[in-house]
Structure 1
């Protein structure tokens, strides 16, 4: 009899363990969001901004440009904004699942100011997926923001096809050797009027191995807010390039770099794409410590020099 109960207890225990394993396997575990306060439910905390925060008092709160606040209804803090409450849906939009509070910014012109930024810890050589929702609050044709990892522009720019229609943006990248990264959403428009945005439900999660992901590089890509070589915003707002930095001058811009008279600039390598141009004014010097690849136009005015340093 004792042997029977021992065997029965063992079989019963095994069945219970098997049942628990089945239950555990069947549970879908949500990936941990590495972004703090990504839905702004905790208020104006956990992130930084180069815009100026103002309390949401009335429909003139967000005057002039360069201000941001937190609200559930943009029209309540700016009389020209639409009422893109994140709990309602415009035609064709993908509404942020959290609903409620969003970050609203009155777009700043002429520089890549950070509307939202947060530094996150990473595991090296790991894929991550960054997701957020954005909405154009006035004229959608002028909405133009970009996503950055440190100083590198990542993924698709934030453009809109309709006013008041939420859109979900997703970008996957590999951390490489990085153990931390500043993610930021920044203005990339020269337009003052209409470049106004709402963002919500920002998340960063570890991703399964994927073949299509961006890499975080240290290349300096000319943005062209002005023509001033020495203006950090023109290079992504971190700093100007040095002999340690690779530089790309892309085509299709309005403003191209001009190195002012008697000024000195430096790069490791510089690639001037077809249709792009660089101008060196009189007395200026461009030090190139690596390669110079010119498929566009490089103009050197009187007494300007290009010095091939040959150190890298």
Structure 2
């Protein structure tokens, strides 16, 4: 292993020991008590001479960082200090006093280092042409910092995109890990090589269970089918403990003194509920802050913690879950490693060569079945080749002949002597054969109707009836009475195509209908019969006053003078319309609503029934008859019914009876009262 002391970034924290005396000691003891302390630090990966130191300030009353001749920083838990050089060793002394008056002092030797990687073959170099971009590639690591060079996008990933305008060297710093000191960190040997306070079982349904495996959705009820990031998708599957402080995983590792190490592992939630919160311990003391896993299952998180061994020769590392919920609280841990590390500076050179000038020509259109000669142009000395497009007569010629049957893009490549190549594209659009058509293709129309014809597929049109031009647009309207055919000439002038189409026309006769009425209406005669003939189907309007509809004959009872329309349809489907007016005469209003003053229901068919059957039709009709005791002996709302002198099947005695007639008619509201004599 390299004897130099290297930097260690990302997350550094201090490890604090408890004071040597308890809180119950006397004040004299507290004044002389000492405190065990430790601190961590991380270099800035982009500027490795600059370190961020860290100590948990919890119960500390005073903090002093002594950098010797370089200076002192007081009362800062996470100071940043730039040593401004590499290879020199500096003593850093931390002195703290807690609120109980206990003090602690710790000195560590820090040697900022930056290893410049040898790269004689320039394996990360690449070349592009002017105007192009390229994705750089760096060796695998867990963190990167690329130099802030022009035209680089995202400096902190393994493979950033760059598009330099000129040849540029991009420098990058990365971590390089030493040998992994963890035994079975990828769990390929199952549940061996580590210590756990959990039960290592084949099922994970009980809290405090754990096992190495690849199928958490089978191992534990309600867990997702997540996979590990390590070898063969293995992980340590864990169902959280309900007892706090239980070690999920623990291992004791020998270390060298005054060396920087990095502890890394992956962790992911296996259930949505109660995601785990993990804390790493070194020798029983927490290192760094706790790590709260995301509640989204199967979302691995990469965790890196940095530590300096100081004067220790071994360390026990443990992972503890601080969540004790019984619901959910399932997670996976895998790919555990503990190793020394180095910050390495490397570079990638992007050589930018001038791009050759090339033009494939302008886009064009041709007719179906035609040919076209391409015309590419390039700088002298460049090599040309058509690399895409069907039907090329000579792919190496700048002006080959092409005969595409469909629209095609042709791509030409030009390469200059330096090896830089670019492409250009020309599109040859193929106009398909003309699709000349007219709709409708055959016209059948009723006499008197107009028609619309529409042609398509051409760029000019001429319409004719008996050699007489009637239009030059793609659409015409006409009344074809007396016409047997229409013809149109369609021309595609671009591809010189022509077609004449003749559209036959059949004009059907309409039915000859007649209409008549039986009478006009009055207060006495309130209905009229209207008859139609000459058609196979009839439709009458308006509907509101039609009382009977028998197809070709209707009965109407208009409340005002009304015109009735008849639409008749013949057997060929053609229709025609006629009308007739029914007048209303109100001059007989006084005579219209007379009633007999006596009747004799003796069965001689003469004046046997009392009623208004002889009146015209009334709306909302009602006839009521009372005897001399005020009892209703007859009631009807049907105008065709009358009183036969009986009540509940029994003949009523001769005498005088009171009646009332109510209703609405064209002549007004009827409310007539009177008396009638029943004769026996």
Structure 1-normalised TM-score? Answer: 0.52
Describe the superposition over 1:126-152 as per-residue Cα deviations: whole angstroms up to 9, x where unpaired: 110000000111126531121111111
- Give the whole-Å Cα distance in 1 for the aligned partners of 2:230 and 2:323: 28
Aligned to 1:65: 207
- Give the whole-Å Cα distance in 1 for the aligned partners of 2:231 and 2:213: 13
The match for 1:148 among 266, 269, 281 is 281
The answer on 1:41 being equivalent to 2:174 is no
RMSD (CA atoms): 2.5
Q: Report the 3-state secondary structure (helix = DSSP H, G, I; strand = E; otherwise coil) of the residue aligned with 1:76.
A: helix
Aligned to 1:289: none
The answer on 1:183 being equivalent to 2:325 is no
- Give the whole-Å Cα distance in 2 for the aligned partners of 1:158 and 1:197: 13
- Give the whole-Å Cα distance in 2 for the aligned partners of 1:97 and 1:137: 16
The answer on 1:206 being equivalent to 2:340 is yes
Q: Report the 3-state secondary structure (helix = DSSP H, G, I; strand = E; otherwise coil) of the residue aligned with 2:188.
A: coil
- Give the whole-Å Cα distance in 2 for the aligned partners of 1:172 and 1:198: 22
The answer on 1:31 being equivalent to 2:173 is no
- Structure (1 or 2) with the greater strand fraction: 2
- TM-superposed CA distance for 1:71, in Å, is 1.0
**Does the Cα contact within 8 Å between 1:109 and 1:187 map onto a contact in 2?**
no
Q: 1:140 to 1:22 in 2, by over 3 A?
A: farther
**Does the Cα contact within 8 Å between 2:264 and 2:302 map onto a contact in 1?**
yes
- Give the whole-Å Cα distance in 2 for the aligned partners of 1:193 and 1:141: 7
Aligned residues: 174
Aligned to 2:297: 163
**Does the Cα contact within 8 Å between 1:110 and 1:189 map onto a contact in 2?**
no
Describe the superposition over 1:103-132 as per-residue Cα deviations: whole angstroms up to 9, x where unpaired: 011100231101111000111111100000
Unaligned runs of 5+ in 2: 1-118, 125-138, 140-175, 345-680
**Does the Cα contact within 8 Å between 2:190 and 2:213 map onto a contact in 1?**
no
Mapping of residues 1-312 of structure 1, within 5 Å: 31-55=178-202, 61-86=203-228, 96-139=229-272, 141-161=274-294, 162-208=296-342
Considering Cα pairs closer than 8 Å and 6+ residues apart, tell me whether 1 or 2 has the greater RCO.
1
**Does the Cα contact within 8 Å between 1:142 and 1:191 map onto a contact in 2?**
no
Describe the superposition over 1:204-237 as per-residue Cα deviations: whole angstroms up to 9, x where unpaired: 1102379xxxxxxxxxxxxxxxxxxxxxxxxxxx
- Structure (1 or 2) with the greater helix fraction: 1
Aligned to 1:309: none
- Give the whole-Å Cα distance in 2 for the aligned partners of 1:151 and 1:98: 29
Describe the superposition over 1:8-44 as per-residue Cα deviations: whole angstroms up to 9, x where unpaired: xxxxxxxxxxxxx969xx9x88620000110001111
Describe the superposition over 1:264-296 as per-residue Cα deviations: whole angstroms up to 9, x where unpaired: xxxxxxxxxxxxxxxxxxxxxxxxxxxxxxxxx
Following TM superposition, the consecutive aligned residue runs of length 4 or more in structure 1 with deviations greater than 4 angstroms are none
- Structure with larger Rg: 2
- Give the whole-Å Cα distance in 2 for the aligned partners of 1:136 and 1:189: 12
Unaligned runs of 5+ in 1: 1-20, 56-60, 87-95, 211-312
Structure 2-normalised TM-score? Answer: 0.24
Q: 1:206 to 1:43 in 2, by over 3 A?
A: same
- Give the whole-Å Cα distance in 1 for the aligned partners of 2:262 and 2:273: 26
- Give the whole-Å Cα distance in 2 for the aligned partners of 1:149 and 1:140: 29
- TM-superposed CA distance for 1:99, in Å, is 4.0
